[in-house]
């Protein structure tokens, strides 16, 4: 049986400052090595000061993943040498004698399957190495410490996944959860990084390190299954090792033999005192947490009678559910949910496209009202929406620009139906016995009006004329 476990590093991107100093947590787009101080580059004699907000946000991740939070949390030094880590140790958490990391024993359900969370820990991100070309062939390696010390939450699962597909689904759920509680923007490049451990039937465990995208981790795991199966078929033992995902070649490559936990010589971090998290603090955090995705979904179904599948999609996406919250009222909620999940999500199926949408609540509100009051057909509504999200123009501007006004007045519709009857004599005579021909005629009217005719009025007129 294939067993897959994950270690996910999630940056707390919503924080102002780093984990142990006042440097900016948002290191992106700053000139190299400009966002540093003695603490985050680990100069001798510097003293780390724990960022309280980081502890709170990590605790919120614990809560949303159903983890236990211990009464006391503490920090450890994980010793290793690497150029991106000038202190030669990373300040992290470790359960040495008892659980003292910010979370343990949680669970997340995906498609009826329970994925157990072993542990959650708060730690600092190292700096960033920049290679010329690939890391294997480069002659020059540059290091930028701007990222060093930014707050990370590491989430470790039990090896409960059986397929790469389950991994991708889990990661999407996880990303939605952390985004919904406002601790991280998991779609920023590098904000969510994944290591995957994979072993086949009784085989050794192989670790795939630092994959930046959900699609790539799924591919990397698929590749590993095939590679390991082919080794087994040729009776070659699978090495326990760490492998890298080569994005360009779409393969994993051997990196180094895997170090064991004891190699890191964890020692308690004496510069940071033990932090007590009492039940009051947890209760306060729980109160501050935004409505959960599950509660939101229930509310959409119960209060607005939104179909469960639509409520599912809408509640799990923070961007779209925020848009929904700002646009809907008691009477148009279903229509707005419908526009968002069928049309809007269709135009913008990636994060980048979503960010480019020039849409606000007013656009949606106007569009839903126009559809409900039959000022515009659903088809034309979709065209109007497409234009609004591109230009940011108002609905009325777009309707007149694209000439999308609804043809629902009986007089002009009758004229158009007459024209169609003249052109489609055969269909008209068939239509007396054949329902398909009626639909055909209605279709012709729709075509002539470029989809602007009100369908129910059109059918009524066609039927009336056929029976006269
Ligand atoms: Zn600093
Ligand atoms: Mn880590």
pLDDT tens digits, residue range 248-285?
A: 888 898 886 656 666 888 999 999 999 999 999 999 99
Task: Give the chain's domains with CATH numbers.
Answer: 3-283 (no CATH), 291-402 (no CATH), 410-467 (1.10.10.410)
For 196-223, what is the mean pLDDT? 89
- The partner residues of 10 in beta bridges, in order of sequence, read 153, 192
Q: How far apart (Å, rounded) are the C-alpha atoms in residues 146 and 32?
A: 6
Tell me, in angstroms, the distance from the centre of ligand 2 to residue 194's CA. 10
Ligand nearest to the CA of 150: 1
Tell me, in angstroms, the distance from the centre of ligand 1 to residue 177's CA. 29
Ligand nearest to the CA of 43: 1
The share of the chain scoring above pLDDT 90, in percent, equals 51
Ligand nearest to the CA of 119: 2
Ligand nearest to the CA of 149: 1
Ligand nearest to the CA of 152: 2
Are the CB atoms for 189 and 211 separated by under 8 Å? Answer: no
Are the CB atoms for 151 and 54 separated by under 8 Å? Answer: yes
The answer, yes or no, to whether residue 184 has pLDDT greater than 80, is: yes
Tell me, in angstroms, the distance from the centre of ligand 1 to residue 304's CA. 48
Q: How far apart (Å, rounded) are the C-alpha atoms in residues 175 and 184?
A: 9
The per-residue pLDDT for range 330-367, each reduced to its tens digit, is 788 889 999 999 888 888 877 778 888 888 888 889 98
Tell me, in angstroms, the distance from the centre of ligand 2 to residue 8's CA. 8
Tell me, in angstroms, the distance from the centre of ligand 2 to residue 173's CA. 21
Q: 3-state DSSP call for residue 321?
A: helix
Tell me, in angstroms, the distance from the centre of ligand 1 to residue 30's CA. 14
Q: 3-state DSSP call for residue 24?
A: strand
Tell me, in angstroms, the distance from the centre of ligand 2 to residue 346's CA. 36
Tell me, in angstroms, the distance from the centre of ligand 2 to residue 418's CA. 73
The per-residue pLDDT for range 372-401, each reduced to its tens digit, is 887 788 888 888 888 888 888 888 888 877
Ligand nearest to the CA of 48: 1
What residues are neighbours of ligand 1 (ion), with CB under 5 Å? 21, 23, 37, 39-40
Q: How far apart (Å, rounded) are the C-alpha atoms in residues 462 and 453?
A: 12
């Amino acid at each position: 049986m294939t067993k897959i476990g994950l270690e996910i590093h999630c940056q707390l991107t919503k924080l102002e400052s780093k984990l142990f100093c006042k440097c900016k947590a948002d290191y992106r787009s700053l000139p190299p090595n400009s966002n540093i101080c003695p603490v985050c580059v680990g100069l001798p004699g510097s003293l780390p000061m724990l960022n309280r907000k980081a502890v709170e946000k990590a605790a919120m991740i614990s809560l949303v993943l159903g983890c236990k939070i211990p009464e006391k949390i503490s920090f450890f030094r994980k010793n290793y040498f690497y150029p991106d880590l000038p202190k030669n140790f990373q300040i992290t958490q470790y359960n040495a004698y008892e659980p003292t990391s910010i979370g343990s024993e949680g669970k997340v359900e995906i498609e009826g399957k329970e994925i157990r969370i072993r542990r959650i820990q708060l730690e600092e991100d190292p700096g960033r190495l920049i290679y010329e070309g690939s890391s294997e062939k480069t002659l020059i390696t540059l290091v930028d410490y701007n990222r060093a010390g930014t707050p990370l939450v590491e989430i470790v699962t039990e090896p409960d996944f059986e397929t790469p597909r389950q991994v991708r689904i889990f990661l999407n759920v996880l990303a939605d959860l952390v985004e919904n509680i406002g601790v991280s923007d998991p779609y920023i490049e590098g904000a969510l990084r994944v290591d995957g451990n994979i072993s086949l039937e009784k085989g050794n465990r192989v670790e795939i390190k630092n994959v930046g995208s959900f699609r790539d981790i799924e591919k990397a795991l698929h590749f590993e299954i095939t590679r390991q199966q082919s080794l087994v078929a040729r009776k070659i033992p699978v090495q326990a090792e760490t492998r890298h995902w080569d994005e360009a070649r779409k393969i994993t490559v051997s990196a180094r033999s895997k170090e064991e936990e004891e190699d890191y010589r964890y020692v308690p971090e004496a510069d940071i005192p033990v932090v007590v998290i009492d039940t009051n603090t947890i209760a306060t955090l729980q109160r501050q947490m935004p409505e959960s995705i599950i509660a939101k979904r229930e509310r959409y179904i119960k209060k607005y009678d939104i179909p469960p599948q639509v409520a599912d999609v809408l509640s799990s996406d923070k961007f779209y559910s925020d848009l929904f919250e700002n646009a809907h009222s008691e009477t148009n909620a279903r229509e707005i949910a419908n526009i968002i999940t069928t049309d809007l999500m269709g135009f913008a199926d990636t994060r980048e496209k979503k960010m480019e949408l020039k849409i606000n609540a007013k656009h949606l509100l106007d569009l839903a009202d126009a559809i409900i009051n039959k000022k515009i057909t659903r088809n034309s509504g979709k065209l109007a929406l497409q234009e609004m999200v591109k230009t940011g123009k108002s609905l009325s501007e777009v309707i007149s620009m694209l000439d999308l006004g609804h043809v629902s007045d009986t007089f002009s519709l009758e004229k158009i139906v007459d024209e169609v009857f003249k052109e489609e004599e055969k269909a008209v005579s068939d239509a007396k016995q054949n329902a398909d021909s009626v639909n055909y005629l209605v279709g012709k009217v729709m075509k002539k009006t470029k989809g602007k005719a009100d369908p129910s009025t059109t059918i009524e007129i066609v039927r009336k004329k056929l029976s006269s």
